[in-house]
Every structure is written in structure tokens, then in C-alpha cells.
Amino acid sequence: MMYSVAVNGYYHLHRGDTYQIWFVVCGVAGAFVAGWACGKDAYGSLMDFAPWFLILSMVISSVVYWALRSVGWSGVSGVPDENP
């Protein structure tokens, strides 16, 4: 339960990042690919790999957006939408 709250809170804090959802989708897809490569079923992939891949994808998203903002890329607003 606390994991879900933490991940949702972190995602909500960075909701203004334009392509964050795609990082998360790639994290979930990566979890299923890793589970498939290790011979796990869908449940095993969700329980064993998805938490780690979700955390990894959000950290990578944060690092990428931080780097883009630090070089002054204007395509990253960083401002949350008014209507979430």
C-alpha cells in the first residue's frame, strides 16, 4: 500500500513533465519483457519486476527532464496542468 502511495505521489509531483507517461509505459513494458525473459507469467512479472521497473522509469524520467531543463530546452514546461 505504501509503495502505491509513494509512486502515485511522485508521479503527481512531476505531472507537468510532458512525456512522463511514456517513461512509465516503457517501464511496465520492460517489466513484462524481463519477466518473459526469465520465464515468469504475467502475475510473476507484475509482482517481481514491475515495482523495480516503475521506480527505475520514474528516476530516468526525472534525470532526463532535469538534464533538459538545465541546458535550457524550452520544450519542457515543468508546470503542472491546471486540469489534472
> pLDDT (tens digit, 9 = 90+) per residue, 25-52?
999 999 999 999 999 999 999 899 999 9
In this prediction the pTM is: 0.73
What are the backbone angles phi and psi of residue 78, rounded to the nearest 5°? 75, 0
- Please name which of 55, 46, 49, 81 lies closest in space to residue 3, comparing C-alpha atoms: 55
What whole-number distance in Å separates Cα of residue 2 and Cα of residue 5? 5
Name the residue type at position 29. Answer: A
Tell which wins on pLDDT, 47 or 77. Answer: 47
Per-residue pLDDT, 81: 46
pLDDT band at residue 84 under the 50/70/90 scheme: very low
Q: Where are the domains of the chain?
A: 19-70
The three-state secondary structure class of 7 is helix
Q: Reply yes or no on whether the pLDDT at 69 is more than 90.
A: no
